[in-house]
Structure 1
Amino acid sequence: MHTLSQTRSTKLFGTARPLLRSSIITITTALCIGSVQAKDLTFGYVPASLEYPYNVMTAKGFEEAAAAAGVKTVVLDPRGSVEKQGNSLDDLIAQKVDAIGFLPLDSVVSESFVDKINDAKIPVVAIALQVGDSASRKVTEPYPGLSALVATDNYQAGYVSGEMAAKLLPKDRAAKIGIVMGDPAYTIVKLDTDGFKAALDKADAKYDIVAEQPTNWTPDEGEAVCQNFLTAHPDIDLIFSHADDMAIGCARAIEASSSKPTLIATGGGSKLGHDAILAGEMYGSVCTRPKLLGSLMFKAMYEAATNPDTPKARFVSYDMPPITKETIDACPEQW
C-alpha cells in the first residue's frame, strides 16, 4: 500500500476493539503462545508484484514472522497481473490454507476476491492498499469481509509531508508546487495528495498546484516527469513525490537543471531515499515500513486463524514520522 503529525504505533478502529502493538518483540511473544497449533498451520500470501523492493519487504516480514511462529507459508507472485492475482488466490483456496493475505492490485476487483475467500471460510487480510472504492470507503474503515486491513494511513502520510512543506514555502506569495503522482489505479495516490493539501490548507499556506503527473512508481518516470515540470515551470518552488523511488529520479532532473526547487516525498524509508536526504538531494520524506507491515499482516492472520472470536474489519497501522537529516534515525528499516 500519526495524528495530524503522528499516530499510535498500531491502531484498530472500532468500538471496544483492543489495540495491536507494532513491536516485533510483542508479535513474537504472542505467537509463541499456542505454538503447538502453529505447527499445523499454513498461510498464503499473494503480493501485487515482487518486482518492487517495497513488496519484497512485505513478503520478508511476513515470512520471518511466520518462521518465528513455526507456521508454513506459500508466497505466489502474480507479477502485476490482476487476473494472475485472482488465479493465485484461487490456488490458495484449493490448497485449503488456514489464512490468506494479499496486496491488492485493483481495489474494486479485490472485493470479489475477498468475497470468494470468505465463502471458503478462510480468514483474509489485505496489506498496504484498500479493498473497495476509496471514494466511498475510508482507509480506516476496511471492507467488511476482511479480517483486517494492515496498511500505512496514506492520508496521514501525505499530511505529514504537507506539514513539512508548509514550513518551507515562501510567505509573501503563492508558492508553485508540482506533484509527482504514483499510478492512479492505486487508491493511495488520491489519499497522499488529499492529505498533503489538507496540511497546507491547515497551515494557511499560499500555493498553486501548477503541475500533476502520474507515474509507474519508478525513478526513471520520476526523472522524466520532473524534467517536464522544470521545463514548463522553471520557477517552481517545491515538488512533492508520492514515493522515494520517483523522488530519486526527480533529484537527478533537478541536479541537471538550473532550477532548484525543494524536493519532498512520502512513501519514504528506502536506502536510496535515506542517502538522498543525507546528501541534500531531497529535503525529507515520511517513514514507511513495509517489512513491519508484513509482520503485522501475519499477526492479524494468525489471530483470525486461531481465534474465531477475533473481530473483523480491523484497521492496523503504525507510526509514520517525518524523515529529514536531523531525524534520519527515526525510520529504521531502509528497505
Structure 2
Amino acid sequence: MSGMKLKFGVAAIAALLSAGTAGAKDLTFGYVPASLEYPYNVMTAKGFEEAAKKAGVKTVVLDPRGSVEKQGNALDDLLSQKVDAIGFLPLDSVVAESFVDKITAAGVPVVAIAAQVGDPQKRDVKDPYPALSALVATDNYKAGYVSGEMTAGVLPKDRKAKIAIVQGDPAYAVVKLDTDGFVAALKKANANYEIVAEQPTNWTPDQGEAVCQNFLTAHPDLDVIFSQADDMAIGCARAIEAAGWKGKLIATGGGSKLGYDAIKAGEMYGSVCTRPLLLGELMFKAMQEAATDPKTPKGRFVTYDMPPITKDKLDDCPEKW
C-alpha cells in the first residue's frame, strides 16, 4: 500500500474528523513544527489542535525554533511522554529519515507534514518514506506547475522572456519541487524564456525584498519574478514599487491574508492556493487513523486541490492565513 494517494475536498473534512473517535479521550498526540516564527507553520498547528479538540484528543506542541537539533530533542521528548502518535514538519528532509526510524522503532505512528522525508533527489513526493504512516503535504510539484501555467500565459510572444526565481530555503525539498513543476509547465507551453537569476532566502519578506532589489538592479528588463512563497513575494512587491518595475510577480505557496491583499491591490499578479490549516486537520486525521487502527497502511500520501489565485478568482482559496 506504499505510496497510496488520498485527496480530500472541504466537504469531506468534517465527516472525517467526526468519525472513529471512540476512545479518543484517552489519546495524546504530539506535534513538532519546523518553527512557529512563520504564519504558515502556526496555521498547521492551529488546524491540528482544533481538529484534536473536536475529537477529544489531548495535544502537545513543541517548537524547535528552526533548529534541526532541537527538533530531534523535541521528538525524543514526545517519545518520553509516551504520546500515542507524532506529527512533525521536517527541517531537513534527509536527517528526518533517522527521526522517523527512531519513532517507528518505538512503536509510535509518525506523520510528516508539509515537507518531504528522504532525499528529494531520490524519492518522489508521492512515494513517501515507507516508515511514515503518512506524508500530509501540498503537492509542491503541482503548485509550481500551476504557477508555471500562469507565467506562460503572461510572457511576451515576440521575444525570449526573462524570468528570475526567488527561492525558499534550499534545505527544504519543496524548493526543488516548486522549480521543477514551474519549469515543466513552461516547457509544456513551449514558452520562449530564459531563467536569468535564482537566489535562495529564509522564507521571509525582508529577504524577498533584498533578493528582488538585486534582481531588478542586475536585470531591469525582467518579464516575470517567480516567488516560491507569498511571504517573499510581499517583500518583493516593496522592491518592485521602489524600482517602478512593470513586469509580473507570480508566486506559489499562496493563500495568506497579505498575499490576498497584494493580489487584490494589483501588487502581485497571482499565486497558488495552499492551505496550512487544512493540512493540520489532515495530519491529525492521519495520526488518529494510525493510532486507533493497527491495520492502517503506511506510506500514504495525503494532499488537496490547489487552484490558482488571481484578481478574479480570489475567493477560490478559502484560507487567508
Tell me the TM-score normalized by structure 1. 0.93
Once the two structures are superposed, the pairs formed by residues 214-253 of structure 1 within 5 Å of their partners are: 214-253=200-239
Mapped partners of 1:60, 1:334: distance in 2: 13
Determine the C-alpha separation between the residues in 2 that align with 1:155 and 1:30: 26
Find out whether 1:150 has 2:131 as its counterpart.
Answer: no
Q: How many residues are aligned here?
A: 321
Matched, 1:21 2:13: no
Q: How far has the Cα of 1:261 moved from its partner?
A: 1.5
2:274 alignment partner, one of 280, 283, 288: 288
Pairwise mapping of residues 1-335 of structure 1 onto structure 2 (< 5 A)?
Answer: 14=3, 19=6, 21-23=8-10, 26-335=12-321
User: Once the two structures are superposed, what CA deviation does each residue of 1:270-327 show, in whole Å capped at 9, x if it has no partner?
Assistant: 0000000000000000000000000000000000001111110000000100000111
Contact 1:13 1:140 in 2 (8 A): no
Residue type matched to 2:292 in 1? T
The CA deviation at 1:32 is 3.3
- Deviation (angstroms), 1:170: 0.5
Distance in 2 separating the partners of 1:230 and 1:256: 10
For 1:278, the aligned partner's letter is: K
What SS does the aligned partner of 2:311 have? coil
Deviation by residue 1:244-280 (Cα, 9 ceiling, x = unmatched): 0111111111111132211000000000000000000
How far is 1:18 from its partner? Answer: 8.1
CA contact (8 A) 1:22 1:296 kept: no
Q: Distance in 2 between matches of 1:304 and 1:247?
A: 37
CA distance in 2, matches of 1:74, 1:244: 28
Cα distance in 2 for partners of 1:321, 1:92 equals 36
Per-residue CA deviation, residues 168-218 of structure 1 (Å, 9 max, x unaligned), is 000111001010011111110011111101100000000011111111111
* Contact 1:28–1:65 (Cα < 8 Å) also in 2: no
Q: 1:281 to 1:108 in 2, by over 3 A?
A: same
**Structure 2 SS opposite 1:220:** helix
The equivalent residue for 1:9 is none
Quick one: distance in 2 between partners of 1:94 and 1:289?
A: 31
CA distance in 2, matches of 1:236, 1:324: 21
Q: Which amino acid aligns with 1:205?
A: A
Q: Is the 8 A contact 2:6 2:303 kept in 1?
A: no
CA distance in structure 2 between the aligned counterparts of 1:34 and 1:293, rounded to whole angstroms: 19
Tell me the CA shift for residue 27 of structure 1.
3.6
